[in-house]
């Protein structure tokens, strides 16, 4: 299946070469991969290793027996975590992991310079970095069996710092994580502040990873208890309140507002008039998805791909919901996959909404970049979700579509247009996670056993609590 032909074979060979060329060395140790190697556009920070971008490369290195690179990456980024992050009045909590880093030479000596968001466009805080780091550490342990690395005191300290940052008491009662705009892959203003799905799915996966990585003992056991408690309420909250399908849409459509007290049905005071018109047409008879965000009188009805796909991969969504999300993708294939898997979010925001949500961002005009562009890196998460739900035919189909264009278009960062037919206006070429995403998708299809690096089963610890919660609701 797939391209199985010489062309597919050549593509894979070429992609591996490109990935090899993207590796960054610190001394003679490989420590990461650059974001892009486009010689025609000014590098800005694309010559750095981004934590989120490195994930697809890292999983590939683990699969292909080059765990050393991932080990080096984990050690170096951990060392950055405790750096002083104060600059120009921007400050960050101790557990924060950098968005990106680069190796610099000074006076014949090399050192690693990190960006925690204090240099980034818009000065955005990369909340996802520490979550991906934890997920990657667990993948490394799964691939190598080297739990000793995770059990080292510095690693245990790093894990606890991340947990402290994420689990700290705050002015918010939801179990979800409250973040500012631009805290994850969408690292610009796009109306994704609050409790965006992508962060919640990564948070859930990171907590599950932490539970496996904490060293048993007094401190570890206390954290495991706290994690278990948070995992179950987070899981309940997302499944119960983020879920959207035709039935739920009908309920929301007939919601009453201004309900006070414990028995309120419309707990978040969502007004039916806020249901966008496109959705009443777009929602299929069969299938559904998790909403992009939820807050007081706010439900972001846009479909965000990475959040939904990660929710499948880490079992944040229930088994039935996982199937429904894949059903929806299959039925809205042209909108969500089109000519390049896959759209970062659907639909684009336009007109006045674009002005207000993006702050008139010319890079995020409708159907471009973060605002409804198609990002080939998402291919691997789509394939992983298809693999997890047993819908492998969709995985192959997506790979076949990507193979038609990627090499010819020189591995772009993203595509523009309603169905992703144009190479993105300001897109980099030779974008590493595009290359790695393609290779990883192929590996996950060829050998489903690799799924264990990234996937989580339904949480057994949670079943009991879910039972109690739903009894409480019915009673
Ligand atoms: C852009 C993307 C971000 C990515 C970075 C490097 O800023 O929005 O998600 O990490 O480029 O590729």
Residue 83 clears pLDDT 90, i.e. is over it: no
For residue 289, list its beta bridge partners: 244
pLDDT in tens, 233-280: 999 999 999 999 999 999 999 999 999 999 999 999 999 999 999 999
Q: Is 50's C-beta closer than 6 angstroms to any atom of ligand 1?
A: yes
Which of the residue ranges 92-96, 291-295, 466-470 would you say has the lowest mean pLDDT?
A: 466-470
Residue 463 clears pLDDT 70, i.e. is over it: no
Q: Is 112's C-beta closer than 6 angstroms to any atom of ligand 1?
A: no
Please give the distance, rounded to the nearest whole angstrom, from the Cα atom of residue 117 to the centre of ligand 1. Answer: 12
Atom of ligand 1 nearest to the CA of 121: 7
Mean pLDDT within 90-97: 84
Residue 43 clears pLDDT 90, i.e. is over it: no
Which pLDDT belongs to residue 433? 98
Atom of ligand 1 nearest to the CA of 120: 7
Q: Is 378's C-beta closer than 6 angstroms to any atom of ligand 1?
A: no
Atom of ligand 1 nearest to the CA of 53: 10
Which pLDDT belongs to residue 471? 67
Q: Which residues contact 201 (CB under 8 A, 6 or more apart)?
A: 306, 307, 308, 310, 311, 314, 316
Mean pLDDT within 163-185: 96
Q: Is 52's C-beta closer than 6 angstroms to any atom of ligand 1?
A: yes
Mean pLDDT within 285-306: 98
Contact (CB, 8 A) for 243 and 197: no
pLDDT in tens, 412-448: 999 999 999 999 999 999 999 999 999 999 999 999 9
Mean pLDDT within 104-116: 94
Q: Is 306's C-beta closer than 6 angstroms to any atom of ligand 1?
A: no
Residue 2 clears pLDDT 60, i.e. is over it: no
Q: Tell me which of 1.50.10.10, 3.90.170.10, 3.50.50.60, 3.60.10.10 is the CATH number of domain 5-474.
A: 1.50.10.10
Residue 469 clears pLDDT 80, i.e. is over it: no
Residue 1 clears pLDDT 50, i.e. is over it: no
| Ligand 1 binding pocket mutation candidate from 51, 98, 185, 363 (most atoms within 8 A of CB) | 185
Question: Using 50, 70 and 90 to split pLDDT, how confident is the model at 182?
Answer: very high
Please give the distance, rounded to the nearest whole angstrom, from the Cα atom of residue 272 to the centre of ligand 1. Answer: 35
Question: Using 50, 70 and 90 to split pLDDT, how confident is the model at 104?
Answer: very high
Atom of ligand 1 nearest to the CA of 50: 10
Q: 367: closest CA among 346, 341, 353?
A: 346
Helix axes 319-331, 305-313, angle to 10 degrees: 140
Q: Is 53's C-beta closer than 6 angstroms to any atom of ligand 1?
A: yes
Which pLDDT belongs to residue 91? 75
Question: Using 50, 70 and 90 to split pLDDT, how confident is the model at 86?
Answer: low
Please give the distance, rounded to the nearest whole angstrom, from the Cα atom of residue 465 to the centre of ligand 1. Answer: 38
Question: Using 50, 70 and 90 to split pLDDT, how confident is the model at 9?
Answer: confident
Per the model's pLDDT, the better-predicted residue between 322 and 218 turns out to be 322
Q: 287: closest CA among 312, 266, 270, 255?
A: 312
Mean pLDDT within 299-328: 98
Please give the distance, rounded to the nearest whole angstrom, from the Cα atom of residue 268 to the centre of ligand 1. Answer: 32
Mean pLDDT within 210-219: 95
Q: Is 416's C-beta closer than 6 angstroms to any atom of ligand 1?
A: no
Mean pLDDT within 209-218: 96
Phi, psi dihedral angles at 389 (to 5 degrees):
-95, 5
| Ligand 1 binding pocket mutation candidate from 42, 44, 50, 196 (most atoms within 8 A of CB) | 50
Question: Using 50, 70 and 90 to split pLDDT, how confident is the model at 286?
Answer: very high
Q: 61: closest CA among 124, 143, 138?
A: 143
Which pLDDT belongs to residue 5? 58
Residue 475 clears pLDDT 50, i.e. is over it: no
Question: Using 50, 70 and 90 to split pLDDT, how confident is the model at 410?
Answer: very high
Q: Which amino acid residue places its CA nearest to atom 4 of ligand 1?
A: 185
Domain extents for the chain? 5-474
Residue 165 clears pLDDT 60, i.e. is over it: yes
Between the CA of residue 19 and those of 11, 16, 93, what are the distances in Å? 12, 5, 33
Between the CA of residue 343 and those of 21, 68, 116, what are the distances in Å? 27, 33, 27
Which pLDDT belongs to residue 242? 98
User: What rounded mean pLDDT belongs to the chain?
Assistant: 94
pLDDT in tens, 375-395: 999 999 999 999 999 999 999
Q: Which amino acid residue places its CA nearest to atom 3 of ligand 1?
A: 185
């Amino acid at each position: 299946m797939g391209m199985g032909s010489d062309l597919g074979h050549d593509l894979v060979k070429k992609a591996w070469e490109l990935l090899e060329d993207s590796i960054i060395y610190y001394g003679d140790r490989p420590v990461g991969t650059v974001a892009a190697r486009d010689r025609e556009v000014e590098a800005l920070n694309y010559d750095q290793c981004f934590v989120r971008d490195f994930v697809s490369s890292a999983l590939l290195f683990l699969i292909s027996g080059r765990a050393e690179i991932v080990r080096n990456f984990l050690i170096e980024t951990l060392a950055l975590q405790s750096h002083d992050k104060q600059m120009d009045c921007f400050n960050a909590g101790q557990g924060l992991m950098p968005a990106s880093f680069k190796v610099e030479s000074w006076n014949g000596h090399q050192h690693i310079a990190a960006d925690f968001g204090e240099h980034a466009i818009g000065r955005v805080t990369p909340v996802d970095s520490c979550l991906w780091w934890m997920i990657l550490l667990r993948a490394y342990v799964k691939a190598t069996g080297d739990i000793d690395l995770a059990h080292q005191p510095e690693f245990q300290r790093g894990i606890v710092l991340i947990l402290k940052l994420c689990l700290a008491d705050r002015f918010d009662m939801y179990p979800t994580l409250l973040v500012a705009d631009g805290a994850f892959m969408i690292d610009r203003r796009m109306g994704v502040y609050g409790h965006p799905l992508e962060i919640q799915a990564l948070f859930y996966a990171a907590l599950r990873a932490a539970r496996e990585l904490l060293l048993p003992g007094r401190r570890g056991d206390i954290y495991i208890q706290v994690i278990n408690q948070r995992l179950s309420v987070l899981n309940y909250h997302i499944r119960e309140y983020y879920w959207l399908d035709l039935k739920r849409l009908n309920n929301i459509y007939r919601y009453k507002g201004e309900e006070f007290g414990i028995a309120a049905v419309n707990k978040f005071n969502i007004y039916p008039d806020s249901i966008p018109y496109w959705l009443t047409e777009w929602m299929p008879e069969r299938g559904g998805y998790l909403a992009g965000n939820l807050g007081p009188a706010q439900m972001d009805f846009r479909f965000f791909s990475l959040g939904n796909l990660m929710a499948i991969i880490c079992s944040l969504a229930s088994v039935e919901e996982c199937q429904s999300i894949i059903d929806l993708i299959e039925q809205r294939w042209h909108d969500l996959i089109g000519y390049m898997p896959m759209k970062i979010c659907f639909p684009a925001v336009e007109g006045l909404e674009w002005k207000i949500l993006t702050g008139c961002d010319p890079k995020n005009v409708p159907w471009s970049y973060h605002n409804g562009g198609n990002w080939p890196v998402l291919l691997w998460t789509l394939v992983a979700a298809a693999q997890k739900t047993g819908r492998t035919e969709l995985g192959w189909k997506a790979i076949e579509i990507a193979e038609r264009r990627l090499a010819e278009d020189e591995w772009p960062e993203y595509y523009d247009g309603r169905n992703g037919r144009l190479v993105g206006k300001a897109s980099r070429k030779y974008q590493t996670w595009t290359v790695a995403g393609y290779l990883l998708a192929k590996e996950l299809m060829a050998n489903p056993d690799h799924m264990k690096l990234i996937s989580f089963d339904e949480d057994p610890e949670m079943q009991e609590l879910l039972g109690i919660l739903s009894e409480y609701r019915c009673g």
